[in-house]
A and B are shown apart, each in its own frame.
Chain A
Amino acid sequence: MQDVYITGMSVMSSISAGSDVFWQALLKGESGVGPVTRFDTSWLPIHIAAEIKDFYALGNIRDAEKKELSPVATLGLSTARAALDQAGLLDAAGKNRFPEMDLLMASIHGDLNEYLTQCKKYWETNNTAEIKDIVKDTMVNNITFGFLNQMARRLGMTGYHGMNTNACAASGYAISLGVERIRQGKTALALCGGAEVLAEADYSGFCSLRALAAEACQPFDRDRRGLIIGEGCGVLVLESGESVKQRGIIPLAKIAGYGWSADAHHLSAPHPEGWGTRQSIVLALEDAQLEPKAIGGIIAHGTGTPGNDRTEANAFADVFGKQAIPVTAPKSMLGHTMGAASVIEAIIGILSLIHQTLPPTIHHYHTDSGCPIDVVAGKPRALQSRFCLTNSSGFGGNNDSLIFALP
């Protein structure tokens, strides 16, 4: 079985773009949360989100592409190019040198804004033939997996494509499937990640669920009020040990193991005893052949909702012991980037290992007594371990845990 390494990665988020700047912003505890600018929220009870300020911040989207790409495709393509560049997989002309590599992406809804706009347009124009043609082309680009096609075309990626929509654990599943395809020799390289932009439909839906915080996301804090929706994209280049050796590249990290589970319990509420979260962590440890004590830090799902945080914290306590391992929750800074959350938190885990430091959880003042964990609150903390764990859960009870290791 092939070992799986990470040889490139990049991120775009509400606090910054590119891994290095992103890391500095995380250490400072910067918040990407501000007033929603994408659409009118005057009719809604909540008005904040963690929006990306500049979709072209990485400077690798050409002017012609800016006119052609949808917002999610812009994020995906820009982040992917940066990750491929770091992995040494782009040629001098900026083209992907390994077109046959896998492309496994995740998003909950792709370019939903544009998709719904087109639906409305179609409906209002009373089915004329002219509008049908416009709608058809736009639909194909904006349907959930449309951005993956837009990315693949510009990156020249001809190999296996996978598009995962497993709620807020979606990009964790995309990474895990990439790991498995490399382990089983189906491919030597896989570009895995997730991208999400703010969609009015989703935002209003979360408002209807009363799941959003009005001011701040406060994971594991006794006064937490809910999550804040965010935008983001993260991409990892996964590579087999054999390919790493052949190319003579120094990997950033190794994926030691992954675990999956399904709560089979409720469409929005986590399992009351945290069975699914605990199960995916245990399976990840088994896959990595590690004892719990080997894990030095946890990048938590930590949404800031009462139910999720309590369930997750108790699952950590069950597996690792109460207050045993430092836990940090980046959604306090980045908001909940939905389909991109798992991969962005995976990148934070890898950066934490590389720098041997865990970034802080901001807005955390008093740990909830129902969350028996050691939260890295307010300022960064040293990480003295070769291993860290990232954990994700999604509506419907989708759970995914990943263990990263220094190579």
Chain B
Amino acid sequence: MDDIKIVITDLQMICPAGDKPELIFDSLLKGQIFLKKHEQSDDIMGGDGLTGRVEQEFKKELEGKGWRHHNRSALMACLAGKRIFKTRLSVDHPICQPENAGLVLAYNHNVFSEEVEDALAKKSLHLINPANFLTMSTNAVASQVSIYLNIQGFTITQTMGYLAGLESLATAALTLNSGRSRVVLAGGAEEIIPQIRYSTASYNRNVDQALLFSGIPGMPVSEGCALLQCEKGAPAKDQGRPARAVIRGFGMYFNPAPQSAHDPEAARQAIQKALQDAGIHPKDVGVVFTATNGNTMQDLAEARALYELFGEQMPPAFALRSTLGEGFHASGALVSALAVVCLEQGSLPPNQNLTGNEWIEKLNLSDQKRNHHARYALVMGMEHQYKSGALVLSVPTS
């Protein structure tokens, strides 16, 4: 059955909790929190300094290549991709040839703006470094990764806010089913840049932590990257790459109605579409990875949708953002990667920053580590309360 499905055969994560999936998982199981106050502001953030460490790791290699200008989101994705492919793709690469590989990367922010803003303000073209202009634009992240790893099939940059990382996996499945590629790296990358902090600062009202369901807006900004190696089940198995998880279905819904707070319509419809795409029923879902991030309206919209669907049979749920923060275009991929590890390990990390709210119990969130074997996982993505995506993953069937 899985032979004809799109499967995940490898993954890498880089986030405030670390840069190796197994160590990240262990840290999360131990209940570690990776949010702290930003040095120059009151904002609560995750990952402060993360990209600098990644940059340091690449320093020698970059100098050797004469690659002086780079985007730190791209560096995270390059590092993740390098750990999956091991070496740059070539005609005799053990995984696939360059023209048979694709990349779908979720990323949004143009980060050249500070330099350009300065140039515009001072009306001085000399302040714009052409190389920076090239490396800092939106699609340049995927392009830098494709150049670094020699991916020649295609690169796609998708932007759709918090749920884009999730969408990248659906696009990977689409392209693999089309026969355009044999292996697709799908995921997302986002570093914390001033613009992200500007655009979301209103959510961070100097709260001490990301309080879920407290009624206090408190979404912490974060950063990271995750890439998942996706391919068709049968050829992957034939080449000695067993499935770690199966992509079963995806759904997305946009609620165009005038927005009222906590409207669950988008989340409800997205979940139903994903379950339908996967050919399963709500009772089949064994674990839910929520998009809960401390944004009050979004969290309650998601919570209401999940409770309406599952009711008293709500399976155990985990909110990764409660400990890592909101990594924007990286989040969907980070949560999906963690879902694969949780399905494999049969364990669910404790949620953090829970407050005494009715939804904690209704959503089966717990502040304790849980041993829990599930077959199907539902991974949620929310772009505020009006747009939602849902992905169904499963353990491989033998």
Q: Using a CB–CB distance below 8 Å, which chain A residues touch chain B?
A: 40, 42-45, 99, 108-109, 112, 115-116, 118-120, 122-123, 127, 129, 132-133, 135-136, 139-140, 143-145, 149, 152-167, 170, 173, 177, 180-181, 183-184, 186, 200-201, 204-205, 207-210, 260-268, 276, 279, 283, 394-398
In the complex, the answer to whether A161 meets B146 with C-beta atoms within 8 Å is: no
Known contacts A118-B198, A394-B139; A261/B154 CB under 8 A: yes
Q: Mark B147-185, 1 if CB is under 8 A from A, else 0.
A: 101111111111111000001000100110110100000
A–B Cβ pairs within 8 angstroms, 23 of them: A108-B137, A116-B120, A119-B117, A120-B121, A127-B41, A143-B109, A144-B159, A145-B108, A155-B256, A159-B253, A160-B252, A162-B167, A166-B142, A166-B155, A167-B137, A204-B116, A208-B130, A260-B154, A264-B146, A267-B135, A267-B143, A268-B134, A398-B143
In the complex, the answer to whether B256 meets A396 with C-beta atoms within 8 Å is: no
In the complex, the answer to whether B201 meets A158 with C-beta atoms within 8 Å is: no
A41 CB → nearest B CB, Å: 10
Known contacts A139-B198, A201-B120; A165/B139 CB under 8 A: yes
In the complex, the answer to whether A261 meets B99 with C-beta atoms within 8 Å is: yes
Asked if B337 is at the interface (CB within 8 A of a chain A CB), the reply is no
In the complex, the answer to whether B157 meets A166 with C-beta atoms within 8 Å is: yes
Cβ–Cβ < 8 Å partners of B137 in chain A: 108-109, 167, 205, 395
In the complex, the answer to whether A149 meets B120 with C-beta atoms within 8 Å is: no
Partner of A177, one of B124, B174, B202: B174
A191 CB → nearest B CB, Å: 13
A310 CB → nearest B CB, Å: 20
In the complex, the answer to whether B199 meets A143 with C-beta atoms within 8 Å is: yes
Known contacts A145-B161, A396-B139; A262/B117 CB under 8 A: no
Asked if B387 is at the interface (CB within 8 A of a chain A CB), the reply is yes
In the complex, the answer to whether A145 meets B178 with C-beta atoms within 8 Å is: no
Partner of B133, one of A43, A161, A173, A208: A208
Q: How far apart sit A155 and B160, CA to CA, in the bound complex (Å)?
A: 18
B396 CB → nearest A CB, Å: 22
Q: How far apart sit A157 and B199, CA to CA, in the bound complex (Å)?
A: 25
Cβ–Cβ < 8 Å partners of A139 in chain B: 198-199
Q: How far apart sit A268 and B130, CA to CA, in the bound complex (Å)?
A: 10
Cβ–Cβ < 8 Å partners of A135 in chain B: 198-199, 201-202
B41 CB → nearest A CB, Å: 7
Sort A-B residue pairs by CB-CB distance and give the 8 closest, nearest first: A396-B143, A139-B199, A43-B123, A132-B202, A260-B154, A205-B133, A208-B128, A136-B202
Cβ–Cβ < 8 Å partners of B155 in chain A: 166, 262, 396-398
Cβ–Cβ < 8 Å partners of B140 in chain A: 267, 395-396
Cβ–Cβ < 8 Å partners of B151 in chain A: 262, 264
Known contacts A119-B117, A156-B256, A162-B171; A396/B146 CB under 8 A: yes
In the complex, the answer to whether B113 meets A119 with C-beta atoms within 8 Å is: yes
Partner of A136, one of B138, B146, B174, B199: B199
Q: How far apart sit A398 and B123, CA to CA, in the bound complex (Å)?
A: 32
Asked if B200 is at the interface (CB within 8 A of a chain A CB), the reply is yes
In the complex, the answer to whether B143 meets A184 with C-beta atoms within 8 Å is: no
Cβ–Cβ < 8 Å partners of A183 in chain B: 178
In the complex, the answer to whether A123 meets B198 with C-beta atoms within 8 Å is: yes
Asked if B364 is at the interface (CB within 8 A of a chain A CB), the reply is no
Known contacts A158-B253, A207-B125, A209-B130; A165/B174 CB under 8 A: no
Partner of A43, one of B113, B124, B384: B124
In the complex, the answer to whether A204 meets B174 with C-beta atoms within 8 Å is: no
Q: Mark B190-230, 1 if CB is under 8 A from A, else 0.
A: 00001100111111010000000000000000000000000
Q: How far apart sit A154 and B174, CA to CA, in the bound complex (Å)?
A: 28
Asked if B110 is at the interface (CB within 8 A of a chain A CB), the reply is yes
Residue of B nearest to A138 (CB): B199
Residue of A nearest to B155 (CB): A262
Q: How far apart sit A135 and B116, CA to CA, in the bound complex (Å)?
A: 20
In the complex, the answer to whether B252 meets A159 with C-beta atoms within 8 Å is: yes
In the complex, the answer to whether A180 meets B108 with C-beta atoms within 8 Å is: no
Partner of B252, one of A119, A161, A394: A161
Known contacts A180-B175, A201-B113, A261-B154; A161/B387 CB under 8 A: yes
Residue of B nearest to A112 (CB): B110
Cβ–Cβ < 8 Å partners of A166 in chain B: 139, 142, 155-157
Using A173-B156, A183-B178 as known contacts, list a sample of 10 further A-B pairs with CB atoms less than 8 Å apart, ordered by residue number in A: A40-B123, A112-B110, A144-B159, A184-B177, A207-B128, A209-B130, A261-B152, A262-B146, A262-B152, A396-B146
Q: How far apart sit A286 and B25, CA to CA, in the bound complex (Å)?
A: 45
Residue among A157, A167, A265 with the most chain B CB within 10 A? A167
Asked if B144 is at the interface (CB within 8 A of a chain A CB), the reply is yes
Residue among B154, B255, B269 with the most chain A CB within 10 A? B154
Known contacts A109-B110, A260-B154, A261-B99; A266/B117 CB under 8 A: no
In the complex, the answer to whether B110 meets A395 with C-beta atoms within 8 Å is: no
Q: Mark B294-335, 1 if CB is under 8 A from A, else 0.
A: 000000000000000000000000000000000000000000
Q: How far apart sit A170 and B159, CA to CA, in the bound complex (Å)?
A: 12
Asked if B98 is at the interface (CB within 8 A of a chain A CB), the reply is yes
Known contacts A136-B199, A158-B255, A163-B158; A201/B116 CB under 8 A: yes
Asked if B129 is at the interface (CB within 8 A of a chain A CB), the reply is yes
Known contacts A108-B138, A158-B255, A261-B154; A397/B146 CB under 8 A: yes
B234 CB → nearest A CB, Å: 18
Cβ–Cβ < 8 Å partners of B360 in chain A: none
B118 CB → nearest A CB, Å: 10
In the complex, the answer to whether A180 meets B178 with C-beta atoms within 8 Å is: yes
Cβ–Cβ < 8 Å partners of B359 in chain A: none
Cβ–Cβ < 8 Å partners of B142 in chain A: 166, 396
In the complex, the answer to whether B157 meets A165 with C-beta atoms within 8 Å is: yes
In the complex, the answer to whether A262 meets B160 with C-beta atoms within 8 Å is: no
Cβ–Cβ < 8 Å partners of B174 in chain A: 177, 180-181, 184, 186
Partner of A264, one of B98, B134, B157, B199: B98
Known contacts A161-B254, A262-B154; A200/B199 CB under 8 A: no
Cβ–Cβ < 8 Å partners of A129 in chain B: 202, 205
